[in-house]
Amino acid sequence: MSDERLQAVERACAELAASGSEITFVAVSERSGIPRVTLYRNPPLRASVEEHRSHAQAATTLSGLAAELAHQRMALEALAKRVRRHEELLRKLSKRN
């Protein structure tokens, strides 16, 4: 019975991770059908959920950093474009005077 529960927890965690959902005790409980209190009180089940959570957070952090870097790069490129346009306008105004 314990192996079946552990497999159910592993499967629930894998499904949550694959769907991009946050791995929480509530979500694992809902997906696996195992009461949340059992997940907390059963050391192997709790360890499994916590291990999956830590891996998911690390992955999220890395992908979050990559997304933030891409966003910052686009913002910097847009700012550089505005600066070039302003410099061009300043050169034109300087030639007129």
- Give the pLDDT confidence of 40-54 residue by residue, as tens digits: 999 999 999 988 887
Residue 23 phi/psi, 5° resolution? -90, 105
Q: Please check whether residue 16 is in contact with residue 22, taking contact to mean a CB–CB distance below 8 angstroms.
A: yes
Dump pLDDT digits (tens) for 3-54. Answer: 899 999 999 988 888 787 888 999 999 999 999 999 999 999 999 998 888 7
Number of domains in the chain: 1
pLDDT at 63: 63
pLDDT, residue 29, reads 96
pTM of structure: 0.58
- Residue 73 confidence class, pLDDT cut points 50, 70, 90: confident
Range of the domain at 82: 2-96
Task: Give the closest residue to 22 by CA, choosing from 67, 49, 53.
Answer: 53
pLDDT at 19: 82
Q: Is the pLDDT of residue 1 over 80?
A: no
CA dist 54 to 58, 63, 70, Å?
A: 6, 14, 24
- 83: enclosing H helix or E strand: helix 43-96
